[in-house]
Amino acid sequence: MITSAGLNKLARETDSFISHGTYTVDGQKKETDIYKVKIDGSKLRIFLYLNESEGVGDLTNFELIDDEGSVFANKPDQIEKGDLKGLLIAFDFDIQEV
What's the pLDDT at 12? Answer: 83
- pTM of the shown model: 0.88
pLDDT tens, N- to C-terminus, the chain (98 residues): 888 888 888 888 888 899 999 999 989 999 999 999 998 888 899 999 999 888 889 999 999 999 999 999 999 999 998 888 899 999 999 988 78
**45-82 core/surface letters (b: 16 or more CB in 10 A; e: else):** bbebbbeeebbbeebeebbbbeeeeeebbebeeebebe
Identify any residues that bridge with 74 across adjacent strands, giving them in sequence order.
63
How far apart, in whole angstroms, are the C-alpha atoms of residue 67 and residue 34?
Answer: 12
Give the pLDDT confidence score for residue 40 in this predicted structure.
87
Whether 16 contacts 44, CB under 8 Å:
no
Residue type at position 42? S
pLDDT (0 to 100) of residue 89: 96
What is the model's pLDDT at position 54? 85
